[in-house]
Structure 1
Amino acid sequence: MAGRIRDEDIALVRERTNIVDVISEQVTLKSAGGGNLKGLCPFHDEKTPSFTVAPGRNVYFCHGCGVGGDAIRFVMDVDHLSFVESVERLAAQANIQLRYVEGSAAPVRQGQGQRQRLVAAHAAAAEFYAEQLISPGARIAREFLAKRGFGREDAAAYGCGFAPDSWDALTKHLRARGFTSDELNTAGLAKPARSGSFIDRFRRRLVWPIRELSGDVIGFGARKLFDDDDGPKYLNTPETPIYKKSTVLYGVDKAKREIAKRGQAVIVEGYTDVMACHLAGVTTAVATCGTSFGAEHIGVLRRLLMDSDDVAGEIIYTFDGDAAGQKAALRAFDSDQKFVGRTFIAISPDGMDPCELRLARGDLAVRDLIASREPLVDFALRQTLARYDLDTVDGRVEAMRRAAPLVAQLKDREKRPEYVRKLAGDLGMDLEPVQRAVAEAVRGAASAPAQQRRSSPAPDSPQALVEREALKLALQVPVLAGPMFDAVGADSYRHPVSIAVRQAVADAGGTASATAAAGGAGWLHQVRDHCPDLAGQALAIELAVEPLRVDGEPDPYYVAVTLAQLQLGAVSGRIRELKSKVQRINPVAHKDEYLSLAGELFSLEQHARALREQAVGGL
């Protein structure tokens, strides 16, 4: 096994890695003021952004779930990598040649973790398949693409390839590249045969590489081309350590920036639909890969859309006009409430999907399809009413009962009265019974067990606030805090976690040592590593991104005021304790103790007066 990466190389990776670039691959970030950025947390579901990134210190923290750290920590958590794998990935992106304790760069295989090996195998497989697409045996695959309006350049742009008519062509190719049979089996690129050897998973098929947000290939989708192929029409990579179909969206690597820029995501049904939309100018299109659109897909899009109470994006579903497509659209309405933004549906009048529409009528027709979208609730109501005979009393009443819960589900309560009136008109019924039906549906939904929410913490006391501010100064501007901060010991802090962080600063060498650290993230990393428990580590990262409570840039005066207030709280507490003791002591029977306490009390009160004068104009 390779040795551990040298500390100075890890520090260099931290210094040269722009945390905003890394996190923006997964989360849309917007200004939060004070130089910080905010987005929806990728580690828990939320509707109000609480995930904060501090570019100046190269760290992040989520005030909702408490996760935080530097770019290495983010890659570890979001991609489920080990520390070494994360450092190696970021080093490769920054063109840093890592050195190991033994003194030489690790061999490729030994220095990489499982995920990197599987990603590398997929990259090599994608290259192999793409090369096969121009071979004589792939003529049927090229014809398939051409018949759908895609030329050679289009195929190359989307990495289309061909799995040849061979049982083990890819397996042999990748084995020659240094990958083991076990790795190929784990990656889903090969599978065991009855003979005990390994054969290719995909054979005689047109293949599309499936990429994650970062652009790494993590799987493939393969389309049947031959009539004698008894497999499914589409065959996808199975679940692997790097491929989870419930989170994967085809085309998201190309669409992510436009999704964030336009505040719009278009959800289509297949690989060719994504290609057709993008080539037609609808560059926000994505598709699921062999599974229905679910909650985890929604989470990915919400983070890209910045889908929050403050910023509402558009989600546009496109489905085939057949019965299956209509059923899928109604299922989508059940997921509608998981988006804050507005949801729409776009269905071609003649039932063509985007690929067919582009081929038949051109790029403009695809753009017009998306532009002519209608609110999903309108479509859901219309499809519900269409199932009943509205010329009969029974039909109208049953339709009302089925449609009322749809109106009750509307996120925007101000729209409910308008939809109640619309529903009454569509049914040909008086307004009052429809109002009652919707009201009953609303009450029924409200009486259901509410989803437990994370309780908000109680408001901080003045002492807790000033402790946080002092620690923020040490973590964010250690050179400025300097000797003034270091001179105030942990005994001035009351809260146990604050005490732990203050002690960690001391154990890391004090703020005076921060200049030797590798940038802001390096200093924070040192402090965090000296925290004895997870609570202290979390608080350190949280305070590193929390804005200081001062207008403009902090200066030495602000540091002095903050530290004076911090000490004043501790001194005032000690004064209260001494006064209580003095009052309980008999000055005659315990003269010496009484005089000692009285002398300490007098000295502390003088100190408190001096601190109050210093703290004037503070927090």
Structure 2
Amino acid sequence: MYLMAGKIRHEDITLLRERVSVVDVISDHVTLKSAGGGNLKGLCPFHDEKTPSFNVKPSQGVYYCFGCANGGDAIKFVMEIDHLTFPEAAERLAARAGVELRYEEAGPAPVRQTGQKQRLIAAHRDAAAFYAEQLLTPGARKAREFLAQRGFDRAAAERYGCGFAPDGWDHLTKHLRNQGYTGQELVTAGLSREARSGSLIDRFRRRLLWPIKEISGDVIGFGARKLFDEDDGPKYLNTPETPIYKKSHVLYGIDLAKREIAKQGRAVIVEGYTDVMACHLAGVPVAVATCGTAFGGDHIQVLRRLLMDVDAYTGEIIFTFDGDAAGQKAALRAFEDDQKFMAQTYIAVGPDGMDPCELRLARGDAAVRDLVARREPMIDFAMRANAARFDLDTVPGQIGAARAVAPLVGRLKDRSLRDQYVNRMANMLGVDVDLARREVAAAGEGPNRPAPAQRQAVQAGGDGAEAAVEREALKLALQAPALAGPMFDLIGPEAYSHPVHAVVRRAIAEGGGAGGGLVGAVWTEKVRDACGDLAAKALVTELSVESLRIDHDPDPRYVEETLIRLQIPAVNRRIREIKSKLQRLNPVTQREAYLTLAGELFSLEQQARGLRERAAGGF
């Protein structure tokens, strides 16, 4: 974990791309076969298909799927397959290739402590193994009973890495010191702490433990449950904040749930470790839990990345809460966070206030699945909860409830639902529909909620929008070549309808491509020199300094969506051309030409469908 924010140096990313074989990385997940011309082909790991459309070009170090339009380099592949950020994926590949990544300074502090993250993660890995072994010892009987009483057998305990912190003051500390970890490393990791005597002792003692993992699967902390009433401390004790453990960023179970969340477009938020275990074992593999803190903005960012939550209301976030007053309060807080998602949010309240673990134990796996299936939209729950504060048998109560509920309806993200909810609001409160509509209009849309940067930057449809996408793509190639390069270079000049844009695109190729390793003024000048006319030269200068249409630094997701939207008009143009040709061909007398074009049309329509889905937020 880095001590400060900073970008990985461009030259280090370039070296990493040279050192890492895209074929080796992808072959860990996909069986690749020769496709001729030095290219390889396999079944796409990002969407279901029976005929291979996933292509790898080793000479350029890139891949591209013509079915779902997913493409990029080895770093991008690791980001997609393991749902990691760009720095996380780069660090993982750097460790594999033996490349040390350096970070640009973002302030006066040192950029990083070399190797600290790796040491702390290694210490947690060894601690998790130690605790898991201790769970099998006689002293851990109470911990095993706790799990068994909640319906978890030995296989479940092993699957989730459950462990036991033994009775004693420094068993783990001595074990890890014998493996070469320093006392300072153990304290920094939150595994040990300093006693009053000055000696180091274990942070956890006589507790059942769950290893907490980041999305990559690395153990970064522990959650510990008290087992003996006579022991001091809270019922649950978590690892303190450390360089690698930030509780506001961590979701328990995310390492196991990430692929299913991405596949199903759904995440279920539960309240505890045993609830996650119960959901997974009951057939709800998309459950995750916060670790000793309320669900908040940083958790939302983790889930948005998994759900590809960009510009469509297709995903689902389902909160499970106890049916008591505290649970209802938590649910209403979650509704406020609803506005930070593009996905639809729901709530599921267990019968008799049971949590998923209790429900599974009492009524079986099917009851847990039914709990999720019976979810209701968060807006419905929030409307009822706000209306319950008023006496709806009186006119003043109805008016007061209308004014309390109206802002909720006004803030609905999906505007197509608002009219329906105005009618529902009127029926619920017993007021006239026109009155409900006026109250919603008066409430407005609540706090201004800017559209996602991606939507601001690139609106679909119309020549103006098409030119804006082309312009943004060229800016990314000029201003952030290391980030945009791998995918940008795959898209040729034919994707650019504006003639000067096409000239600049060809100049970028002649300059070595955006992924060629040049940056800054040297890169801009090389592209300018390759331009064949004055208008294009002037445009290069303009685009190299013009602000991007986002209010933050470009990230891989923004780059990808921009470049995906760039391809859609060109593919559509080619589809129209082929359809026009097919109409002029006789399928009987010109059968071979007809079948060739029909095959190309099928592939293009599949590609267009994949591009549209990804542009709408499905990638």
The TM tier, using the shorter chain, reads: 0.5 to 0.7
Stretches of structure 2 that go unaligned for 5 or more consecutive residues are 1-11, 30-44, 57-67, 101-112, 459-466, 472-497, 517-525, 545-552, 573-619
CA contact (8 A) 2:409 2:421 kept: yes
Q: 1:158-307 maps to which residues of 2 (within 5 A)? A: 158-307=160-309
What secondary structure, in the 3-state scheme, does the structure 1 residue paired with 2:20 have?
helix
Deviation per residue, 1:440-496 (Å, 9 max, x gap): 1116x27x5868968749844632431123424743899xxxxxxx99954647548
Measure, in 2, the Cα distance between the counterparts of 1:357 and 1:233.
21
Say if 1:130 and 1:310 are closer, same or farther in 2 by CA, change over 3 A: same
Instruction: Give the letter aligned to residue 96 of structure 2.
Output: L
Measure, in 1, the Cα distance between the counterparts of 2:201 and 2:538.
59
Instruction: Give the letter aligned to residue 176 of structure 1.
Output: N
Shift of 1:543: 11
Larger Rg: 1
Alignment partner of 1:466 is 2:475? no
Measure, in 2, the Cα distance between the counterparts of 1:337 and 1:449.
8
Shift of 1:295: 1.4
Instruction: Give the letter aligned to residue 506 of structure 2.
Output: E
What secondary structure, in the 3-state scheme, does the structure 1 residue paired with 2:351 have?
coil
What secondary structure, in the 3-state scheme, does the structure 2 residue paired with 1:369 have?
helix
Report the TM-score when normalising by structure 2.
0.65
Shift of 1:13: 2.8
Instruction: Give the letter aligned to residue 231 of structure 1.
Output: G
Alignment partner of 1:13 is 2:20? yes
Measure, in 2, the Cα distance between the counterparts of 1:450 and 1:543.
19
Say if 1:468 and 1:190 are closer, same or farther in 2 by CA, change over 3 A: same
Say if 1:382 and 1:456 are closer, same or farther in 2 by CA, change over 3 A: closer
Q: 1:7-86 maps to which residues of 2 (within 5 A)? A: 11-15=18-22, 18=25, 54-55=71-72, 57-58=73-74, 60=76, 77-79=86-88, 86=92
CA contact (8 A) 2:507 2:530 kept: no
Shift of 1:387: 2.2
Measure, in 2, the Cα distance between the counterparts of 1:226 and 1:475.
64
Q: 1:460-499 maps to which residues of 2 (within 5 A)? A: 460=471, 462-472=499-509, 474-475=512-513, 490=530, 492=532, 494-495=536-537
* Alignment match of 2:412 (pick from 410, 413, 424): 410
Say if 1:387 and 1:259 are closer, same or farther in 2 by CA, change over 3 A: same
Shift of 1:349: 2.4
Deviation per residue, 1:294-343 (Å, 9 max, x gap): 11211111221222324611111111111111111111111112222221
What secondary structure, in the 3-state scheme, does the structure 1 residue paired with 2:383 have?
helix
Shift of 1:208: 0.2
When the two structures are aligned, how many residues end up with a matched partner?
A: 460
Alignment partner of 1:155 is 2:157? yes
Partner of 1:389: 391
Shift of 1:77: 4.8
CA contact (8 A) 2:508 2:527 kept: no
CA contact (8 A) 1:475 1:544 kept: no
Say if 1:429 and 1:544 are closer, same or farther in 2 by CA, change over 3 A: closer
CA contact (8 A) 1:19 1:70 kept: no
Measure, in 1, the Cα distance between the counterparts of 2:243 and 2:139.
32
What secondary structure, in the 3-state scheme, does the structure 2 residue paired with 1:223 have?
strand
Q: 1:335-354 maps to which residues of 2 (within 5 A)? A: 335-354=337-356
Shift of 1:269: 0.5
Say if 1:491 and 1:152 are closer, same or farther in 2 by CA, change over 3 A: closer
Partner of 2:360: 358
Shift of 1:59: 5.8
- Which segment drifts farther, 292-301 or 310-319? 310-319
What secondary structure, in the 3-state scheme, does the structure 1 residue paired with 2:211 have?
strand
Partner of 1:434: 436
What secondary structure, in the 3-state scheme, does the structure 2 residue paired with 1:364 have?
helix
- Which segment drifts farther, 198-207 or 459-468? 459-468
CA contact (8 A) 2:323 2:353 kept: yes
Percent of paired sites with the same residue = 56
What secondary structure, in the 3-state scheme, does the structure 2 residue paired with 1:226 have?
coil
* Alignment match of 1:121 (pick from 96, 120, 123): 123
Measure, in 1, the Cα distance between the counterparts of 2:268 and 2:79.
32
* Alignment match of 1:420 (pick from 422, 429, 454): 422
Measure, in 2, the Cα distance between the counterparts of 1:379 and 1:121.
44
Instruction: Give the letter aligned to residue 356 of structure 2.
Output: P
Shift of 1:209: 0.4
CA contact (8 A) 2:75 2:93 kept: no
CA contact (8 A) 2:191 2:202 kept: yes
Partner of 1:588: none
Instruction: Give the letter aligned to residue 237 of structure 2.
Output: L
CA contact (8 A) 2:266 2:317 kept: yes
Shift of 1:230: 2.3
Partner of 1:321: 323
Deviation per residue, 1:277-306 (Å, 9 max, x gap): 011111111111111111121111122122
Say if 1:52 and 1:380 are closer, same or farther in 2 by CA, change over 3 A: same
Measure, in 2, the Cα distance between the counterparts of 1:214 and 1:231.
31
Q: 1:98-113 maps to which residues of 2 (within 5 A)? A: 98=98, 113=115
- Which segment drifts farther, 388-397 or 127-136? 388-397
* Alignment match of 2:401 (pick from 390, 399, 413): 399
Say if 1:208 and 1:452 are closer, same or farther in 2 by CA, change over 3 A: closer
Instruction: Give the letter aligned to residue 232 of structure 2.
Output: D
CA contact (8 A) 2:268 2:319 kept: yes
Deviation per residue, 1:21-60 (Å, 9 max, x gap): 89xxxxx9679xx9799xxxxxxxxxxxxx99634x5465
CA contact (8 A) 2:261 2:267 kept: yes
RMSD: 4.4
Say if 1:496 and 1:150 are closer, same or farther in 2 by CA, change over 3 A: farther
Say if 1:496 and 1:35 are closer, same or farther in 2 by CA, change over 3 A: farther
- Which segment drifts farther, 396-405 or 318-327? 396-405
Measure, in 2, the Cα distance between the counterparts of 1:114 and 1:70.
23
Deviation per residue, 1:167-190 (Å, 9 max, x gap): 111111111111111111111111
Say if 1:272 and 1:487 are closer, same or farther in 2 by CA, change over 3 A: closer
- Which segment drifts farther, 136-145 or 384-393? 384-393
Say if 1:334 and 1:311 are closer, same or farther in 2 by CA, change over 3 A: closer
Deviation per residue, 1:218-237 (Å, 9 max, x gap): 11111111112221111111
Say if 1:456 and 1:311 are closer, same or farther in 2 by CA, change over 3 A: closer
* Alignment match of 2:95 (pick from 89, 92, 98): 89
Measure, in 2, the Cα distance between the counterparts of 1:540 and 1:450.
20
Shift of 1:246: 1.4
Deviation per residue, 1:89-128 (Å, 9 max, x gap): 334xxxxxx599xxxxxxxxxx971111111000000000
